[in-house]
Structure 1
Amino acid sequence: MSAAATPATRGATAAELVPALPKSPVARLRWAAADSWTLTLRTFRHWARQPGALILALLFPVLLVLMFGYLFGGQMAVPGGGNYREFLLPGMFAMTMVFGIETTFAAVSTDAARGVTDRFRSMPIAASAVVVGRSLADMAHSVAALAVMVLCGRLVGWSWHDGLARAVAAFALLLLLRSALLWVGIYLGLAARGPESLVAVQILVWPIGFLSNTYASPDSMPGWLGAVAEWNPLSATVAAARELFGNPGWGGDSFAARHAVELAIAWPVLITAVFLPLAVRRFNRLDR
């Protein structure tokens, strides 16, 4: 006899059939971790079945490196001298992290629009697993994108010059920025009316990405615009990465220029502090 037909379950309500939540904090943590990993694997399987979009997302920043490094690079002068492509690559690493917002937004908004997120929330799984699983998958995607960009950089002559430990610190700051922007993408994905709103996100992301010290010195911009570019969170990460990699940069005597590493930590922490609660609140109010 099937379990559904036993006297113990015959006539039971749906709520009574849902497994009880673990009582111990350790058991709850294990339960949430297992559910999060299951949903992470779900995303990996989607990528394996539809690799085209994943490959394009990984190669698009490479196209930008080739375009800016070779098409426009001959006209760009780095203050104090230096190879423009060595100057460019840390900025492109950071831009790749920023572009990840679009990947997160598209996945989250698609699941929400199709009712997948609501179905997950109605299942006996840890509520946090839906968001954590998405975050783990997108961070893995960002690590892969960063690896592709490093390989591209090595092929065009980029390298770090101040030791492996400082290079690892630079990569950590880049991933810290991505982890903060994850919550921006999750919040916008949950707040959007559907994946067709991706164009609006691109209109937001691209100006923020280009209004930075990635391609041009803030000193070369009008005063107010240069100040905005210099205090852009992306600029802090780019400047810190250049410093830690030992690559040429714009320099400067402003507070933002002199404390790039500190700001590259502070900005992601602030972004996370703002958007993580907003994303959680939006997730909890999806059915309202």
Structure 2
Amino acid sequence: MSAWAYDGLAMTGRQLRRVRNSPGLAILTQMMPINMLLFFGYVFGSALATPGREYRAFLLPGLLVATAAGGVMTGMFQAAADTHRGVMDRFRTLPVSRAAVPLGQAVADLVVTAVGTVPLLLVGLAVGWRIEGSALDAAGAVGLLLLFRFACTCAGIFLGLLTRSEDAAGQLGASSFVLPLLSDAYIPTDRLPGWLRTLAEWNPISAVTTALRDLFGNAPVPRGAAWPVAHPIAGALAWSLALVAVFLPLAVRRYSRGE
């Protein structure tokens, strides 16, 4: 095993121990999308054109992607906390690969997210959501979801290293809650005003959500949508890979410079 891979595993283990030592926070984080599924599914569903079970099947992929987008907030807060408390400075004094620290945090978050997704899927099955597509398509949907979470976490880590403040990261991270609202995660975009529909359909969350609905077989790809939503799998891959390509090198460079 190469040195950077060994260092990355060590940093991943450190982050997982961090989660293990704060189980309450992890549980609360995973309960939020479940509460939203039950509340939105049974309250909002009655007011939409796709009520009841149909709306809950429509909603679940959106909640999965909205939770994945929360990687921006999680990555930002953890990186800012480690920077503010001097943990990053101590890491820089060690003979550790510069890529290992941000990469280890992102991989550990991916493991926690993969485990935390299971309860939401089980509750979704209990309220009427079903996988209508093939097992291979469903596996592809999960893989796409985790790739998007990894991309969002990389973006969050860079922003956390940039802010260097827990308070600033908390306030900036909380604003990321708006992103799923400007997408098709909770409602279809075809009834939105023209400019707002365009904005929502170019939101990466919309492309990933539509891709999951398509792969799970929960809803057809909408007609007349912007390119990322009209070609959701390609759009979701393009957005996710672009975010990783931009923010992972930036996070490694920011950590290495220690500014």
SS in 2 for 1:261: helix
Residue identity in the other structure for 1:171: V
> Is residue 2:118 matched to residue 1:151?
no
Q: Counterparts of 1:1-288 in structure 2 under 5 Å? A: 30-78=2-50, 83-197=54-168, 198-203=170-175, 205-249=176-220, 251-254=222-225, 255-286=227-258, 288=259
Structure 1 residue 85: Cα displacement: 0.5
SS in 2 for 1:162: coil
Q: Distance in 1 between matches of 2:53 and 2:105?
A: 40
Residue identity in the other structure for 1:238: T
SS in 2 for 1:219: coil
Residue identity in the other structure for 1:72: F
Q: Distance in 2 between matches of 1:223 and 1:38?
A: 49
Structure 1 residue 230: Cα displacement: 0.9
Structure 1 residue 175: Cα displacement: 1.0
Equivalence for 1:10: none
Structure 1 residue 182: Cα displacement: 1.5
Residue identity in the other structure for 1:244: L
SS in 1 for 2:105: helix
Residue identity in the other structure for 1:106: F
Q: Distance in 1 between matches of 2:164 and 2:253?
A: 17
Change (3 A) 1:249 1:69: farther
Residue identity in the other structure for 1:64: M
SS in 2 for 1:125: coil
Residue identity in the other structure for 1:276: L
Q: Provide the aligned length of Structure 1 versus Structure 2.
A: 257
Change (3 A) 1:257 1:54: closer
Structure 1 residue 100: Cα displacement: 2.1
- What stretches of structure 2 of length at least 5 have no aligned partner? none
**Residues 60-85 of structure 1: per-residue CA shift (max 9 Å, x gap):** 11111111111211112239x97110
Q: Distance in 2 between matches of 1:66 and 1:269?
A: 32
**Residues 193-236 of structure 1: per-residue CA shift (max 9 Å, x gap):** 31112122211x11211100112222211111110001111100
TM-score normalised to structure 2 length: 0.93
Q: Distance in 2 between matches of 1:68 and 1:124?
A: 49
Q: Distance in 1 between matches of 2:205 and 2:45?
A: 21
List structure 1 runs of 4+ shifted beyond 4 angstroms: none
* 8 Å CA contact retained: 1:96, 1:145: no
CA RMSD of aligned residues (A): 1.8
Change (3 A) 1:193 1:132: closer
SS in 2 for 1:218: coil
Q: Distance in 2 between matches of 1:149 and 1:249?
A: 22
Structure 1 residue 140: Cα displacement: 0.6
Q: Distance in 2 between matches of 1:279 and 1:45?
A: 22
SS in 2 for 1:213: coil
TM-score normalised to structure 1 length: 0.84
Q: Distance in 2 between matches of 1:78 and 1:260?
A: 21
Residue identity in the other structure for 2:54: N
Q: Distance in 2 between matches of 1:72 and 1:250?
A: 22
- What stretches of structure 1 of length at least 5 have no aligned partner? 1-28
